[in-house]
Amino acid sequence: MVIGAGTAGLASAIRLQNAGFEMEIFEKESGPRGKMTQIKKDGFTFDLGPTIVMMPEEYMDIFKSCGRNPKDYIEMVKLDPMYNVFFGENLERKYEVSNDIVKLTSMLGNISTDDTEGFFRFLSDIYTRFRIAEKHFIRKSFRKPSDFFNPKTLVQGLKLKTFDSASNMLSKYVKNKDIQSMFSFQTLYIGVSPKKGPSFYNIIPMIELLYGIWFIKGGMYSMAKAMEKLFLELGGKIHYGEEAEEILFEGESCRGIALKDRDISSDFVLCNDDFPYAVKHLIKDPERKGKYQDEKIDSMDYSCSCLIFYFGLQGEVSELEVHNFIISRDIDKNLDQIFEGEKLEDPSFYLFFPSKIDPSLAPKGHTGIYALVPVSNLGSAKYEYSAKTIEEYRSAIINRMKKIPGLDNVEERIVSETVIQPQDFKEKFHSYNGTCFGLQPTLTQSNYFRPQPKWKEAEGLYFCGSSTHPGAGVPIVLESGRLASEEVIKDYGYE
């Protein structure tokens, strides 16, 4: 059985059902969830969480692995430009970032010809590291110490040069501050500062440029519904409105889960609940927690959270792209405040216009705007996310939005509004400290040092999701589901 119909839970259940297992998913909500869910209000439809589609092959692979045509389940559209990035006191510096080599070279050359040459050397360097990581780290799990601590793997690990930070590595190739910021903020996609995250995570902007950014018609939730459809077609069962309250053990073996009104037995349990929450709250026996006792869970490093406003606007906005990033006037200070728990004085934020590419997501003649502010998680924030604080952040981003052509009168045009804050992520998704991306992917919380799919403290228990190896972000979480399913298959003999 699987706990949770999130991205990794569905992905692993599909692969196991296709391999011959009889799989059942127990999900506390009323439909396929995780953060890949929807908000519907006043005729507007928004993805609640992830919105940027990278590595499209990862999305398609789950269908191909079952002999299905992905086009029968999801429709993907490539975006060009991929996004706009705005800088400056009055957001006067606007860059259209494309993965078309001619457009990209022209955009970079208009900023700095010297840095254009340096940037392409940077891409070459990080691509080499990506190929190493993909083969030796991302697409494999580490069941035992010798899987990681062996000469071959350690030599490959040294080639990744992970002791440098993402932003510092880029600065060795590029001196222009706008270009540096333009291609380092992407580590925030996985909840870590480019100033602290290992340089390996520069693969994120590289992946954007080499493979493009895509949009799934109907929004990211269409992917969740497509996976649900495939799982049910394969004969799997989903029990919605059924929350796992405890993972049950007999001796050193996992034997099932406890729901509110009954126990369910199973040969194994694959848990897609957020790893820190699951170990702390679903595993009651301290012996079965192993090294992840409550004190250990509390002391680990966690990713940032997000404050997200979902605005419904009267009228259309033609001047912006589907994805837009507004960079703080002092990005270094902004990043420090996010991860040191300080209140943000000048937040960076992200604007997503889903109805610009899919008009079905807003009423005719209207525009939906998803406005995301990276903020401190509940464990690190030195302030409360009170109504007053949320209004302060709202005012800050609205005032900046007014400086963008096409949004000068944005506040007067708002006809619908919803907000999701860190406490909501904690309560609705069991996200520890209200984080949006699970455990921070620091050097000591990555690869072998990150929670692995197979649980060492009990036979028959497995984990998947953003806090487990290989990490956060939808494509990587899909990979987490694959790795977890492979671990189950190793133990239970199906091929």
Task: Provide the domain limits for residue 359.
Answer: 305-429
Do 139 and 206 fall into the same domain? yes
Do 279 and 249 fall into the same domain? yes
Percent of the chain surpassing pLDDT 90: 98
- Average pLDDT over all residues of the chain: 97
Do 208 and 221 fall into the same domain? no
Q: Is residue 339 part of a domain?
A: yes
Do 202 and 228 fall into the same domain? no
Distance (Å, rounded) from C-alpha 50 to C-alpha 358? 16
Q: Is residue 79 part of a domain?
A: no
Residues 6+ apart with CB under 8 A from 386: none
Q: Is residue 402 part of a domain?
A: yes
Q: Is residue 92 part of a domain?
A: no
pLDDT of residue 161: 86
pTM: 0.96
**Residue 84 forms beta bridges with which residues?**
96, 324
- Strand locations in 169-304 (E): 214-216, 237-240, 246-250, 253-258, 263-265, 269-271
For 416, phi and psi rounded to 5 degrees? Answer: -150, 145
Do 335 and 407 fall into the same domain? yes
Distance (Å, rounded) from C-alpha 180 to C-alpha 373? 20
Q: Which of 70-79, 93-102, 153-162, 463-472 has the lowest mean pLDDT?
A: 153-162
For 177, phi and psi rounded to 5 degrees? Answer: -65, -35
pLDDT of residue 13: 99
| The pairing of beta strand 83-87 with beta strand 323-326 | parallel
Given 155, 186, 212, the domain boundary residue is 212
pLDDT of residue 493: 77
Per-residue pLDDT tens over the stretch 280-332: 999 999 999 999 999 999 999 999 999 999 999 999 999 999 999 999 999 99
Q: Which CATH number goes with the domain that contains 464?
A: 3.50.50.60
Do 473 and 371 fall into the same domain? no
User: Cβ-count burial of 418 within 10 angstroms (0-12 exposed, 13-18 middle, 19+ buried)?
Assistant: middle
Do 174 and 190 fall into the same domain? yes
Do 208 and 247 fall into the same domain? no
For tokens 């991860």, name the residue. Answer: 339
DSSP 372: E
Do 265 and 310 fall into the same domain? no
Q: Is residue 83 part of a domain?
A: no
Given 398, 429, 460, the domain boundary residue is 429
Do 266 and 293 fall into the same domain? yes
Do 315 and 409 fall into the same domain? yes
Q: Is residue 437 part of a domain?
A: no
Amino acid at 268: F
Given 183, 212, 241, the domain boundary residue is 212
Q: Is residue 47 part of a domain?
A: no
CA-to-CA dists, residue 250 to 108, 265, 280, 287, 427, angstroms: 61, 11, 19, 12, 30
Do 323 and 289 fall into the same domain? no
pLDDT of residue 494: 59
Mean pLDDT of 118-125: 97
Per-residue pLDDT tens over the stretch 201-226: 999 999 999 999 999 999 999 999 99
Percent of the chain surpassing pLDDT 70: 100
Q: Is residue 88 part of a domain?
A: no
Distance (Å, rounded) from C-alpha 208 to C-alpha 473? 13
Per-residue pLDDT tens over the stretch 14-67: 999 999 999 999 999 999 978 999 999 999 999 999 999 999 999 999 999 999
Closest Cα to residue 431, out of 30, 33, 14, 32? 33
The total domain count for the chain is 3
